[in-house]
Amino acid sequence: GAGVSQSPSNKVTEKGKDVELRCDPISGHTALYWYRQSLGQGLEFLIYFQGNSAPDKSGLPSDRFSAERTGGSVSTLTIQRTQQEDSAVYLCASSSGTVGTLHFGNGTRLTVT
């Protein structure tokens, strides 16, 4: 596809369950980012990948959050033992390296009940 693809687009889960969110970046983009967008909180940086390695994990809010990237392409963000405060839109973006030019997906809206 031409853009960043995220799946699922919507996810409703019960508190305490684990969830996996998937991101397919634009082909050839070496950098991949995860952000969380909550109402009134703007975009919160979670993690950044360059290739398959994550030089910056500083934004992961707790050890329940983890992410991996394989083959320099697809990335998954995993949230274990979900809590209600994890409810948000999770955005993925990729970049070819041009300064600050991130291409965002449409996000996964996570609702924890």
Q: Which residues bind other proteins (CB under 8 A)?
A: 3-4, 31, 33, 35, 40-43, 45, 48, 50, 55-56, 59, 91, 93, 95, 97, 99-102, 104-107
- Shortest distance in whole angstroms from residue 60 CB to other proteins: 12
- Shortest distance in whole angstroms from residue 37 CB to other proteins: 9
C-alpha dihedral (105, 107, 108, 110), degrees to nearest 10: 160
C-beta of 11 vs 44, nearer to other proteins: 44
- Shortest distance in whole angstroms from residue 106 CB to other proteins: 5
User: What is the CB neighbour count within 10 angstroms for residue 45?
Assistant: 13
> CB of 17 within 8 A of CB of 78?
no
Structure tokens at 91: 């955005």
